[in-house]
Copies of this chain bind each other. A is one copy, B any other.
Amino acid sequence: MRDLSRGGLEHLSLNWATVREKWDLGQTIDGCARQGLRGIAPWREPVQALGVEEAGRRIRDAGLRVSGYCRAGLFPAADAAGLRAAIDETRRAVDEAAALGAECLVILGGGMPPGSKDLALARGQARDGIAAVLPHARAAGVPLAIEPLHPMYAADRCCVTTLKQANDLCDELDPDGEGSLGVAIDVYHVFWDPELEQEVKRAGAARIFAFHVCDWLVPTRDLLLDRGMMGDGVIDIPRIRGLVEDAGYDGLIEVEIFSRLDWWRRDPDEVIRVIAQRYRSVV
């Protein structure tokens, strides 16, 4: 397990959503570079606003790696045309991720389409969508990272609710483990899982493409936008980082905090300073 307490911030990456209410992508690139971070995880909207080529150029000029590109997938749809549209959109996201030099494209399973109560159907569509995009991703050299989300998002955001499900999809769709399909592990989404240890081991270095941190607050006041700063909640982050690094992961540690009530209201430079301090002490 890496010692983060000393030295620089060489494994730290900032997900743009953490500062989204105050900074556009350009400001976020500059802020990360200014404070010594080594990575950034941009979202599609601000990348498209800046222009993909320009965004890639500025990120490279700042010396930042792209720990992940957020986000695509979200396949389940009410009809075949909807599913095709989601597949096409995800292929475009692959192209953007390639232009940015992203280390992976984050894939969310998606929730049930409006009116549906059929989670099994949604899960089947997520599988079919990933299978349809995978050849294009391989050709573009962009690894797809399936991110299981917390089960509280099963209905409307992500039918892939456990790391086991994500690993099962990898086994099924990429049986040879060529490095084109893997998982993104976010402590917020998986810390509750009784099978976390075995499933992290099962994923292993070959399939863990990203590692995200934040914290689970007690109480949590909003299902989506009340994530905590590392150290302010109840997740044993070092334990989970230990599992992930013992499995062989040596990539960036990405901080992704949706916090309408707290961190989104603060000066992003202050937010990054706190992140850096917590990175050294509680991650």
A residues near B, CB below 8 A?
Answer: 112, 116-119, 123, 150-152, 154-156, 161-162, 164-165, 191-194, 216, 218-220, 223, 233-236
Contacts and interface: CB of A to CB of B under 8 A. Distances in A.
A78 B112 CA distance: 40
A146 B97 CA distance: 46
Contact of A118 (B216, B233, B236): B236
A118 B235 CA distance: 8
Task: List 4 tightest A-B contacts by C-beta distance, closest first.
Answer: A154-B192, A117-B236, A151-B192, A152-B152
A165 B152 contact: no
A234 B165 CA distance: 21
Contacts of A117: 234-236
A246 to B, nearest CB: 16
Contacts of A216: 155
| Residue from A123, A162, A193, A234 with most neighbouring chain B CB atoms (10 Å) | A234
A236 B119 contact: yes
A155 B218 contact: yes
Contacts of A235: 117
Contacts of A223: 152, 219-220, 223
Nearest to A223: B220
Contacts of A220: 152, 223
Nearest to A112: B234
A112 B116 CA distance: 35
A152 B261 CA distance: 19
A138 B213 CA distance: 45
A148 to B, nearest CB: 10
A192 B165 CA distance: 12
A74 to B, nearest CB: 15
A234 B191 contact: no
A164 B198 CA distance: 15
A191 B119 contact: yes
B218 A194 contact: no
Contacts of A155: 192, 216, 218, 233-234
A39 to B, nearest CB: 26
A77 B268 CA distance: 38
25 contacts: A112-B234, A116-B234, A117-B234, A117-B235, A118-B236, A119-B192, A119-B236, A123-B194, A150-B151, A150-B152, A151-B151, A151-B152, A152-B223, A154-B191, A155-B192, A155-B216, A155-B218, A155-B233, A155-B234, A156-B218, A156-B219, A156-B234, A161-B192, A162-B194, A223-B223
